[in-house]
Amino acid sequence: MDIGLILKIAGVGFIVSVLTQILSKNGRDDQANFVSLAGIIIVLFMLIGKIGELIDLIQGVFGIV
């Protein structure tokens, strides 16, 4: 796994956690939940390519075509 991808995911997590805390402190819990959900979706989109590579690797190891 690429270290750059890990750092990007950590950066998104940090930004999302800060924004969520700020919104929660200001009484905007609904928006804080949407920010958390958006962060999860962003990270999943970042991981889609790596998940595809993992599936290809598993198919190659077990000879599934």
State the first-to-last Cα distance of the chain, in angstroms, to the nearest integer.
Answer: 24
**pTM score of the predicted model:** 0.79
Number of domains in the chain: 1
pLDDT for 56 equals: 93
Residue-level pLDDT, tens digit, the chain, 65 residues: 679 999 999 999 999 999 999 999 999 999 999 999 999 999 999 999 899 999 999 999 998 87
Q: Is the dihedral of CA 4, 7, 9, 16 positive or negative?
A: negative
Q: Which residues contact 43 (CB under 8 A, 6 or more apart)?
A: 9, 12, 13
pLDDT for 1 equals: 62
Amino acid in position 34: F
Domain assignment of residue 48, given as a range: 3-62
